[in-house]
Chain A
Amino acid sequence: SRPLGVVDGIEVYSTKISCKVTSRFAHNVVTTRAVNRADTAKEVSFDVELPKTAFITNFTLTIDGVTYPGNVKEKEVAKKQYEKAVSQGKTAGLVKASGRKLEKFTVSVNVAAGSKVSFELTYEELLKRHKGKYEMYLKVQPKQLIKHFEIEADIFEPQGISMLDAEASFITNDLLGSALTKSFSGKKGHVSFKPSLDQQRSCPTCTDSLLKGDFTITYDVNRESPANVQIVNGYFVHFFAPQGLPVVSKNVVFVIDVSGSMHGQKIKQTKDALLKILEDMKEDDYLNFILFSGDVTTWKGNLVQATPESIQQAREFVMNMNAGGMTNINDGLLRGISMLNTAREVNAVPERSTSITELVQTVAGAVAGLGTPPSPSGESRPKKIQENVRNAIRGKFPLYNLGFGNNLNYNFLESMALENHGLARRIYEDSDANLQLQGFYEEVANPLLTGVEVEYPENTILDLTQNTYQHFYDGSEIVVAGRLVDKDLNSFKADVKGHGAVNDLTFTEEVDMKEMEKALREREYIFGNYIERLWAYLTIEQLLEKRKNAHGEEKKNLTAQALDLSLKYHFVTPLTSMVVTKPEDSEEQTAIADKPGEGPTDAEVIPSMAYLTRYQPQPPQTPCHHGEFPGSSWGKAQGPGPSTSCLPRSQPHRVDGD
């Protein structure tokens, strides 16, 4: 009789996901322990799915008590080691995109008979506030019962926690529900999920696990004050999220691709989303629709106030939209931009709301499923379209690009959105695409402030992260971090200026260092230099984003800065890789952790990404049989001895869809 939890000789006896969140900065450690109970060497693989926004900071492999630590290296340096390992038929770890929100880290090693192996992956991320809450997302996917399975999350928020929830998509009955506990009081919150072996079974007599799905922790903090500043070891972070302000009215132009590539489900889902969005529009808002295929058609000649009558007409217009023909995104966008500019020039929208909405919340939402394959008409050169759009907008309002489906030039959309102070989102072609569209609109539908500037007294700070924002949206949060020139400051002052719907506001935050110390006294909850790491994370993230639209010398400098920080703070970013080398049989076995991007953008990034997201076929190799477990997969090799390696049975030979 086979012991429970032993599959093909490998027993996974423990998996723990430990999350420590301090002031939105999450430090997660995934530890898995296994033993090879077979008579021969077996391959054990370890998969973790982590958020795309996270950076891996450490990976260690411990075999029979000997730990092999990970080293973060510049991608090119790591690449050589990786290629060497692969050319020798050795296993190598990979990170590739997995679904909408996640990346998958995979590594496997050979473990001698009777040996124990332990994998530990650490990653960090700054939790961002959306629609009034922070969300931490964990993927749980075991196909094997695990004796000690545990998810533990400790949250410490100096502002106090206002709500905390944890949900598992796979919890289907009360029995499993009892394995989940969640509590919060004051500044501390705790979530624990510890299903017993019996609770993990998919049925009372089954040996396979029902733990398969998403585990999501959501919380928010008290907002008695609009801002909160924290300072530790000379680094500060400033969170700003005022409440109770009126919503700035918007002028929205929806620029919609109705070319043949949108035919069928995409146009139907777009219609559904637009109809819902129309329901949510406020009477102070102004709107119009621009449809482009080979030609450009507009709903109205100019922006129209969202009165009940015009909303009804808009509904009818949306319901009659049909897809077909070629794609002329250039003229569609330029028509929309021109309409917004004209509305401002001729005062067709109220003066105060005009200046606000045009600068901030005028949404030129290009629901652009660039044809598959593109069938452009009009201007089709992406660089030229970008230039035209940039020159037309001239920084006056943001452009949001929503790309539908997988086969579009997402980098073009993203690049264009970023250089026009907006952002791009991919809309996944699933049944909930209409909700994705609608959800995005809701995120940007309620601007409370425009032209937000966060100011600190001159000569007191260094290395500030982004401190100007075109808008602050209800339910979101602005985060600015930096370094203090004088560590021994007694007090610290910050001003946040912005334009509200009807007046200008200046929020002042004064910090007394002694009070601060009291607030951050819960040392056991604070992982040492979390503000410094949060600052580094945010700085790298912003440098990488800026880099996407930089050229020449500027791009070189941004890359150098981001690389320098990634190496200094041990972050696996798109510029670095983590290498774990395990000496084995006088040879080296190399594992590598790496971070993929959205897809090809330039010559510097593509080659390394392509190689990293490929498994190298090395026949004759024995295929692995992979099982999966919580954020991890386990498999065994059918091979005979310790030096045998294996490769996955299916070998994708392209950069993943993202």
Chain B
Amino acid sequence: PHFLIQIPEKGDAICFNIDGDPGTVLRLIQDPVTGLTVNGQVIGDKSPDSKTRKTYFGKLGIANAQMDFRIEVRPDKITLWNGAAQSTFSWLDTVTVAQDGLSVRINRKKNMVVSFGDGVTFVVVLHQVWKKHPIHQDFLGFYVVDSHRMSAQTHGLLGQFFHPFEFKVSDVHPGSDPTKPDATMVVKNHRLTVTRGSQKDYRKDVSSGTKVACWFVHNNGQGLIDGVPSDYIVPDLF
């Protein structure tokens, strides 16, 4: 999956890929204080022999331990658990589920907005491909719209970037692709070679998306993320 970290105060963005094997579950957000956790399971193309090995999120697990609440989002259905009580919805529903401190809104065939009180909002975007496509299959996008109520102890592949962090880009020079210059990024005491590229934000337009220019960190975000990607692998979605 692609990761895009926007830093509004700098008017810039950093991006990286994590190429986990299909089936791997990655910890995206973990906040021990609020009890919020978001994990994502990676899927690949339909055919394992396809030339380009692309991976996506095929399943997302959003949990709030304090509320004893969990959501499993898949391209074919959405399941909510309140304790043992289970509710299942389809992406063909337009439905709002509301209870104290929680709101879940499913917008038919488009996206799902999950808000925990005032200050934590996630958006899950449904990417649908042609059902009979020989290679690709439906997948999910995950966006953090608001995280200001999450604690400073929040971690995870995305969660670690909720706190302000410093980075500096210098020495912009031509790279192997003439349209994409390389540069040197200093971040978390690492000096990395990054490439100017772009990723898309599909929140507003799920088919075309909006291009966001970013500095791409190679090698699965090594040097940018704390530790190594395998540190973020967890056994289960919840």
Indicate if B102 sits at the interface (CB-CB under 8 A): yes
Asked whether A226 lies within 8 Å of B99 as measured between CB atoms, the reply is no
Which of A241-249, A555-563, A623-631 contacts the other chain?
A241-249
In the bound complex, how far is the Cα of B86 from the Cα of A409, in angstroms?
A: 43
Indicate if A500 sits at the interface (CB-CB under 8 A): yes
* B95 closest partner in A (C-beta): A507
B83-102 interface (Cβ within 8 A of A)? 83, 85-90, 92-99, 102
Indicate if A508 sits at the interface (CB-CB under 8 A): yes
Q: Which chain A positions have C-beta within 8 A of B97?
A: 500, 503-505
Q: Which chain A positions have C-beta within 8 A of B94?
A: 507-510
The tally of residues in B whose CB lies under 8 Å from a CB in A reads 19
Q: Which chain A positions have C-beta within 8 A of B98?
A: 503-506
Indicate if A318 sits at the interface (CB-CB under 8 A): no
Indicate if B207 sits at the interface (CB-CB under 8 A): no
Q: Which chain A positions have C-beta within 8 A of B86?
A: 244, 246
In the bound complex, how far is the Cα of B108 from the Cα of A507, in angstroms?
A: 10
Given A224-B90, A225-B90, A503-B102: A246 and B95 within 8 A (CB)?
Answer: no
Q: Which chain B positions have C-beta within 8 A of A504?
A: 97-99
In the bound complex, how far is the Cα of B199 from the Cα of A558, in angstroms?
A: 64
Indicate if B82 sits at the interface (CB-CB under 8 A): yes
In the bound complex, how far is the Cα of B79 from the Cα of A502, in angstroms?
A: 14
Asked whether A224 lies within 8 Å of B92 as measured between CB atoms, the reply is yes
- Chain A 215-243: CB-based contact to B (< 8 A → 1; otherwise 0): 00000000011100000000000000011
Q: Which chain B positions have C-beta within 8 A of A505?
A: 95-98
In the bound complex, how far is the Cα of B99 from the Cα of A246, in angstroms?
A: 14
In the bound complex, how far is the Cα of B90 from the Cα of A507, in angstroms?
A: 12
What total count of A-B pairs have CB within 8 Å? 55
In the bound complex, how far is the Cα of B86 from the Cα of A508, in angstroms?
A: 21
Indicate if A348 sits at the interface (CB-CB under 8 A): no
In the bound complex, how far is the Cα of B100 from the Cα of A504, in angstroms?
A: 10
Indicate if A277 sits at the interface (CB-CB under 8 A): no
Out of B82, B88, B90, name the residue touching A502 (CB < 8 Å).
B82
Asked whether B82 lies within 8 Å of A503 as measured between CB atoms, the reply is yes
* A496 closest partner in B (C-beta): B95
Asked whether B92 lies within 8 Å of A225 as measured between CB atoms, the reply is yes
Indicate if A501 sits at the interface (CB-CB under 8 A): yes
Asked whether B87 lies within 8 Å of A500 as measured between CB atoms, the reply is yes
Q: Which chain B positions have C-beta within 8 A of A501?
A: 82, 85
Asked whether A244 lies within 8 Å of B87 as measured between CB atoms, the reply is yes
Asked whether A508 lies within 8 Å of B95 as measured between CB atoms, the reply is yes
Given A244-B87, A246-B86, A246-B87: A502 and B99 within 8 A (CB)?
Answer: yes
Give the Cβ gap from A563 to chain B, nearest Cβ, in Å.
40
Q: Which chain A positions have C-beta within 8 A of B93?
A: 225-226, 242, 507
Give the Cβ gap from A180 to chain B, nearest Cβ, in Å.
34
In the bound complex, how far is the Cα of B89 from the Cα of A503, in angstroms?
A: 14
In the bound complex, how far is the Cα of B93 from the Cα of A503, in angstroms?
A: 16
* A500 closest partner in B (C-beta): B87
Q: Which chain B positions have C-beta within 8 A of A242?
A: 93
* B107 closest partner in A (C-beta): A508
The tally of residues in A whose CB lies under 8 Å from a CB in B reads 19
Give the Cβ gap from A446 to chain B, nearest Cβ, in Å.
13
B71-124 interface (Cβ within 8 A of A)? 79, 82-83, 85-90, 92-99, 102, 108
Asked whether B85 lies within 8 Å of A226 as measured between CB atoms, the reply is no
- Chain A 188-227: CB-based contact to B (< 8 A → 1; otherwise 0): 0000000000000000000000000000000000001110
Asked whether B89 lies within 8 Å of A244 as measured between CB atoms, the reply is yes
A497-524 interface (Cβ within 8 A of B)? 500-510
Out of A225, A245, A509, name the residue touching B87 (CB < 8 Å).
A245
In the bound complex, how far is the Cα of B106 from the Cα of A507, in angstroms?
A: 9
A502-549 interface (Cβ within 8 A of B)? 502-510
Asked whether B95 lies within 8 Å of A226 as measured between CB atoms, the reply is yes
Give the Cβ gap from A499 to chain B, nearest Cβ, in Å.
10
Q: Which chain A positions have C-beta within 8 A of B88?
A: 243-245
In the bound complex, how far is the Cα of B94 from the Cα of A506, in angstroms?
A: 8
Asked whether A506 lies within 8 Å of B95 as measured between CB atoms, the reply is yes
* A506 closest partner in B (C-beta): B96
Give the Cβ gap from A568 to chain B, nearest Cβ, in Å.
36
Q: Which chain A positions have C-beta within 8 A of B79?
A: 244
In the bound complex, how far is the Cα of B83 from the Cα of A201, in angstroms?
A: 60
* A243 closest partner in B (C-beta): B88
* B102 closest partner in A (C-beta): A503
Give the Cβ gap from A357 to chain B, nearest Cβ, in Å.
14
* A507 closest partner in B (C-beta): B95
Tell which of B90, B94, B108 has the most Cβ of chain A within 10 Å. B94
* B105 closest partner in A (C-beta): A506
- Chain A 262-299: CB-based contact to B (< 8 A → 1; otherwise 0): 00000000000000000000000000000000000000
Give the Cβ gap from B169 to chain A, nearest Cβ, in Å.
45
Q: Which chain A positions have C-beta within 8 A of B85?
A: 246, 501-502
In the bound complex, how far is the Cα of B106 from the Cα of A506, in angstroms?
A: 10
In the bound complex, how far is the Cα of B97 from the Cα of A500, in angstroms?
A: 9
Q: Which chain A positions have C-beta within 8 A of B92?
A: 224-225
Q: Which chain A positions have C-beta within 8 A of B87?
A: 244-246, 500, 502-503
Q: Which chain B positions have C-beta within 8 A of A510?
A: 94, 108
Q: Which chain B positions have C-beta within 8 A of A507?
A: 93-95
- Chain B 197-220: CB-based contact to A (< 8 A → 1; otherwise 0): 000000000000000000000000
In the bound complex, how far is the Cα of B89 from the Cα of A225, in angstroms?
A: 9
Give the Cβ gap from B107 to chain A, nearest Cβ, in Å.
9
In the bound complex, how far is the Cα of B95 from the Cα of A509, in angstroms?
A: 9
Q: Which chain A positions have C-beta within 8 A of B89?
A: 244
In the bound complex, how far is the Cα of B101 from the Cα of A503, in angstroms?
A: 11
* A247 closest partner in B (C-beta): B85
In the bound complex, how far is the Cα of B86 from the Cα of A578, in angstroms?
A: 52
In the bound complex, how far is the Cα of B89 from the Cα of A224, in angstroms?
A: 9
Give the Cβ gap from A353 to chain B, nearest Cβ, in Å.
10
In the bound complex, how far is the Cα of B81 from the Cα of A500, in angstroms?
A: 13
Give the Cβ gap from A597 to chain B, nearest Cβ, in Å.
40
A590-614 interface (Cβ within 8 A of B)? none
Give the Cβ gap from B189 to chain A, nearest Cβ, in Å.
46
Give the Cβ gap from B97 to chain A, nearest Cβ, in Å.
5
In the bound complex, how far is the Cα of B196 from the Cα of A167, in angstroms?
A: 69
In the bound complex, how far is the Cα of B79 from the Cα of A245, in angstroms?
A: 10
Give the Cβ gap from A435 to chain B, nearest Cβ, in Å.
30
Give the Cβ gap from B108 to chain A, nearest Cβ, in Å.
8
Give the Cβ gap from B39 to chain A, nearest Cβ, in Å.
22
In the bound complex, how far is the Cα of B85 from the Cα of A503, in angstroms?
A: 10
Q: Which chain A positions have C-beta within 8 A of B99?
A: 502-504
Q: Which chain B positions have C-beta within 8 A of A225?
A: 90, 92-93, 108
Give the Cβ gap from A256 to chain B, nearest Cβ, in Å.
31
In the bound complex, how far is the Cα of B99 from the Cα of A46, in angstroms?
A: 59
In the bound complex, how far is the Cα of B95 from the Cα of A507, in angstroms?
A: 4
* A503 closest partner in B (C-beta): B99
Given contacts A246-B86, A501-B85, A507-B95, 14 further A-B contacts (CB under 8 A): A225-B90, A225-B92, A226-B93, A226-B95, A243-B88, A244-B79, A244-B88, A246-B85, A500-B97, A501-B82, A502-B99, A503-B87, A506-B96, A508-B95
Chain B interface residues (CB < 8 Å from chain A): 79, 82-83, 85-90, 92-99, 102, 108
4 smallest beta-carbon distances between A and B, as pairs: A244-B88, A503-B99, A246-B85, A502-B82
The contact sample of 11 A-B pairs, CB cut-off 8 A, is A242-B93, A244-B79, A244-B88, A245-B88, A246-B85, A503-B97, A503-B102, A505-B95, A506-B95, A508-B94, A508-B95
